[in-house]
C-alpha cells in the first residue's frame, strides 16, 4: 500500500488498482491505471461504494484500453492545448530559420478565431463538419 492509501484492490490482472486515500476528508474511491510505456492514469471514481468503484474502474480501463489499442492518445487534449503546441513548434521553426516570421504572425492572428470557437472542446471530438460552421 502507498503512503496515503487504504483498502487497495487490484483489478484486470493488476493493471488497475482502486484505493481510498487516507489524507482526504471524504473516503471516495480512486483508481490508478497502468499501460506499458505510459505514465499512470489516476482518477477519482467519485463514489464511496466499493462495488460501484469496481464497475467504474473496469469500464474506465476498458475505454482507455480501446483507445490505446486503436492508436489514439490515452490522455485527451483540449483544442487550445494543441494549438499552443503547434504555435510553439512554429516559433521554434522560425528561430531555426525553417519558417518565416510572417507565417508565425499570420497563424497567430488567424488562430484567435479558432481558439474562440473551439475553446474547451477536446481535439479528438472536432469533426470536419464543425470546421465549416465558423
pLDDT per residue over 40-85, tens digit each?
899 999 999 999 999 999 999 999 999 888 888 888 899 999 999 9
**Strand, coil or helix: 106:** helix
**Strand, coil or helix: 71:** coil
121 φ, ψ to 5°? -85, 145
pTM comes to: 0.64
Helices then strands, each counted (H, E), the chain:
4, 4
Amino acid at each position: 500500500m502507498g503512503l496515503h492509501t487504504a483498502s487497495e484492490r487490484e483489478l484486470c490482472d493488476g493493471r488497475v488498482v482502486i484505493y481510498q486515500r487516507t489524507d482526504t476528508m471524504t473516503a471516495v474511491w480512486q483508481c490508478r491505471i497502468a499501460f506499458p510505456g505510459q505514465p499512470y492514469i489516476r482518477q477519482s471514481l467519485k463514489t464511496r461504494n466499493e462495488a460501484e468503484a469496481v464497475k467504474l474502474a473496469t469500464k474506465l480501463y476498458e475505454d482507455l484500453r480501446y483507445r490505446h489499442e486503436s492508436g489514439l492518445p490515452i490522455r485527451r487534449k483540449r483544442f487550445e492545448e494543441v494549438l499552443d503546441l503547434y504555435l510553439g513548434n512554429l516559433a521554434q521553426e522560425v528561430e531555426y530559420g525553417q519558417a518565416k516570421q510572417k507565417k508565425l504572425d499570420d497563424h497567430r492572428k488567424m488562430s484567435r478565431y479558432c481558439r474562440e470557437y473551439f475553446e474547451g472542446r477536446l481535439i479528438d471530438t472536432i469533426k470536419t463538419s464543425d470546421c465549416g460552421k465558423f
